[in-house]
Amino acid sequence: MAKKRLIVAITGATGAIYGIRTLEALRDSEGVETHLVMSRWAEKTISLETPYQPEQVMKMADYCYDVEDVGARIASGSFPVSGMVIVPCSMKTVAAVAHGYTDNLVARAADVILKERRRLILVARETPLNEIHLENLLKLTRAGAIIVPPVPAFYNRPQTIDDLVMHLVSRILDLLEIPNNYTRRWGELVEIKSEQGL
């Protein structure tokens, strides 16, 4: 059976760990092939925010591409992929994709995903959001993208920061139709509380 090809892009918004954990989860998923592209600011943010270096993150993917290489195979609709996730996604990248400004491989690959009507997930990271941000996000939603802000969930009783991160990663994998057990589901929590008499 052919592997499921997925593009993972990491941009310079804070929250680089979301991208790293997503890559790790996809690496550990059966039948998945990952194609990674990182912006220059993503590389800096990874070094600033996490114990990882960009070179270590690159090794988590099956294939890596230079962000300036707009001639890479993931920049063509003739290269079949199942979907793409930009995690985290800066507002600069949101603006570029929303307006078709494909000046680097992240924006170009996302543009191709939209034109081919494939699944595009943007983990858009900014707060507060101004009118321009909101209009760009709405434009992308109308174009078929799925906006997944990294909003923490507390119904699963997280104990660590990684619990919060992995809950979001689990939601991303759900949207990519990748089976996973990285977080406890709502129904499971209700059953546990019922068993405990809570």
> Is 91 annotated as belonging to a binding site?
yes
> Is 52 annotated as belonging to a binding site?
no
> Is 39 annotated as belonging to a binding site?
yes
Q: Where are the beta strands (DSSP E) in the chain?
A: 4-10, 32-38, 63-65, 83-89, 119-124, 146-147
> Is 100 annotated as belonging to a binding site?
no
> Is 194 annotated as belonging to a binding site?
no
d(CA 121, CA 128): 20
> Is 102 annotated as belonging to a binding site?
no
> Is 76 annotated as belonging to a binding site?
no
Report the largest interatomic distance among the alpha carbons of the chain, rounded to a whole angstrom: 59
> Is 92 annotated as belonging to a binding site?
yes
Distance of CA 17 to the CA centre of its chain: 11
> Is 93 annotated as belonging to a binding site?
yes
Binding annotation: 12-14, 39, 90-93, 125, 155, 171
Binding residues for dimethylallyl phosphate: 155, 171
Binding residues for FMN: 12-14, 39, 90-93, 125
